[in-house]
Structures are given as structure tokens and as C-alpha cells.
């Protein structure tokens, strides 16, 4: 009795691609606030159309690790 299994090469390639992608995500990454808070995000969750508009409002402040040094 014998079996023919197809697709193992493709499965192996996908696993390697997934491993490569996971390694790229490992560690610390920097994302600009205006990229993280897209126009769509701002419209849905705030009364502002854009992050820059919110930052222009008097009293607005963004805190980061750099503020502590």
C-alpha cells in the first residue's frame, strides 16, 4: 500500500514565509503617531478629522519615553 501526498513543498514554503514574517515583527518598532492614527481612525473615535488637527488644539500633549529623559 502506498500513498501519494502532494503540496508538502508549498506547505514548507508557507511555513518558512511565516517564520520570516514573525522574525521581522520581533523586537521594538517605531511608528509615527500620524501613521498610527489614520484619518479614518480619528473620524471614528474622536471629534477630529486628523491627528495633526487634534495636536493643534490648545492643551494637547503627547507623552513619550523621550519626555522622561
CB atoms closer than 10 angstroms to residue 51: 21
- The separation between the first and the last C-alpha atoms of the chain, rounded to the nearest angstrom, is 70
What is the per-residue pLDDT across 5-39, written as a single tens digit (0 to 9) for each? 888 889 999 999 999 999 998 988 888 888 888 98
Q: Does 68 have pLDDT greater than 60?
A: no
Q: Does 52 have pLDDT greater than 80?
A: yes
CA–CA distance, 34 with 42 (Å, rounded to integer): 10
For position 66, what pLDDT does the model report?
65
Q: Does 61 have pLDDT greater than 90?
A: no
For position 18, what pLDDT does the model report?
95
Supply the pTM of this predicted model.
0.45
Amino acid at each position: 500500500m502506498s500513498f501519494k501526498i502532494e503540496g508538502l513543498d508549498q506547505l514548507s514554503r508557507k511555513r518558512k514565509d511565516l517564520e520570516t514574517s514573525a522574525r521581522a515583527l520581533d523586537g521594538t518598532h517605531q511608528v509615527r503617531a500620524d501613521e498610527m492614527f489614520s484619518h479614518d481612525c480619528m473620524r471614528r473615535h474622536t471629534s477630529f478629522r486628523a491627528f495633526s488637527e487634534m495636536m493643534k488644539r490648545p492643551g494637547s500633549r503627547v507623552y513619550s519615553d523621550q519626555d522622561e529623559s
